[in-house]
Amino acid sequence: MPDLGLIKQAEQDSEGESDAGRPRDRIAKVLARAGLCSRRDAERWIAEGRVTVDGTVLTSPAVLVGADSDIRVDGKAIPQADRARLWRYHKPAGLVTSHRDEKGRPTVFDALPKDLPRLISIGRLDLNSEGLLLLTNDGALARRLELPATGWVRRYKVRVHGEVDPDRLAALAHGITIDGVAYGPIRAGLERIQGSNAWIAMALNEGKNREVRRVLEHLGLQVTRLIRLSYGPFQLGNLERGAIAEIPRKALAEQLGADGPKWAVHADRRR
């Protein structure tokens, strides 16, 4: 495990401590971090009596375990958790950002190479959105990077149909409330007009569910294409559609150091 700022904090995001002062985590979290399943699946496995700790069959997920615990699933010892890793993925339109879809639609994870560990997304892109999606093998890291408090800016370019009012776009910098949902400041500007369509550049911190689409629809604009260009310091760049690339360990350390989130905001403001 790298002793590096945010990565170290994420990997040591403990639920408690043992009498010896060593970190202890909930069993479902440990199983998920080992790459075996999601936390929800882990809870289901426990309910089915498939998980033992130190020879005892668990009946509840409300159990803390430590590094010295003998944890087994179906009688087999779980693998040691990998270090926190991060990937850039160029999500095409038409894929769902979830491990399962009740409608049977293809998912991002169905499309990934089979030799990758079990990954989870950092934030989401809806079915028809495309562009940069960050993926990680570490749930604690994902949750930390999704928090608005992290300060990371998400940048998008959006094609819309309709008449764009630059003044209304500029007013989004003060935030907006739509149907009782408050959205934080959004930096938005008209880039170019192509016939009856226009391209808009947008930057925001929160990334609430379908935020870009809902805000633009509120302004009377129909979104016809939505592409995420960056998430914090990580860029889509020239990554081909459908391609995935792991962020090198050294680059990850540089960007996720103690000042990484603050740097991301300042860098975006300089653009």
Provide the CATH number for the domain formed by 154-231 in this structure.
3.30.70.1560
Whether 154-231 and 86-149+233-270 are alike in CATH topology: the answer is yes
> Do 151 and 261 meet the contact criterion of CB atoms below 8 Å apart?
yes
Report pLDDT for 23: 67
Instruction: Place 22 in a pLDDT band, splitting at 50, 70 and 90.
Output: low
Report pLDDT for 166: 95
Residue 43 has pLDDT above 60, yes or no: yes
Q: For the domain with range 5-77, which CATH number is right: 3.40.640.10, 3.10.50.40, 3.10.290.10, 3.90.105.10?
A: 3.10.290.10
Report pLDDT for 260: 42
Residue 271 has pLDDT above 70, yes or no: no
Catalytic residue flag (residue 54): no
Nearest alpha-carbon partner for 123 in 208, 188, 184: 208
- Mean pLDDT estimate for the chain: 84
Report pLDDT for 206: 82
CA distance 204 to 211: 9
Residue 148 has pLDDT above 80, yes or no: no
Which tokens sit at 232? 């914090």
| Domain segments of the chain as ranges | 5-77, 86-149+233-270, 154-231
Instruction: Place 3 in a pLDDT band, splitting at 50, 70 and 90.
Output: very low
The strand ranges marked E within 61-185 are 64-65, 71-73, 76-77, 86-91, 120-122, 130-136, 154-161, 176-178, 181-183
Q: Is 177 helix (H, G, I), strand (E, B) or coil?
A: strand
Report pLDDT for 2: 37
Instruction: Place 257 in a pLDDT band, splitting at 50, 70 and 90.
Output: low
Residue 94 has pLDDT above 80, yes or no: yes
Residue 267 has pLDDT above 50, yes or no: no
In tens, the pLDDT along 224-248 reads 999 999 999 999 999 999 999 999 9
Nearest alpha-carbon partner for 59 in 70, 45, 72, 71: 45
Distances (CA, A) of 131 to 12, 13, 78, 81, 210: 31, 30, 34, 29, 15
CA distance 132 to 90: 5
> Tokens 């409330």 appear where?
177
Residue 6 has pLDDT above 90, yes or no: no
In tens, the pLDDT along 101-133 reads 888 899 999 999 998 988 989 988 999 999 999
- Catalytic residue, chosen from 3, 101, 126, 268, is 126
**Does residue 37 or residue 257 have the better pLDDT?**
37
Count of other CB atoms within 10 angstroms of residue 242: 14
In tens, the pLDDT along 180-202 reads 999 999 999 999 998 889 999 99
> Do 223 and 216 meet the contact criterion of CB atoms below 8 Å apart?
yes
In sequence order, the 6+-apart residues with CB closer than 8 A to the CB of 4 are 252, 253, 256, 257
CA distance 77 to 89: 31
Q: CATH second-level architecture of 86-149+233-270?
A: 2-Layer Sandwich (3.30)
**Residues of the chain with pLDDT > 70: what percent?**
86
Report pLDDT for 169: 97
Count of other CB atoms within 10 angstroms of residue 223: 20
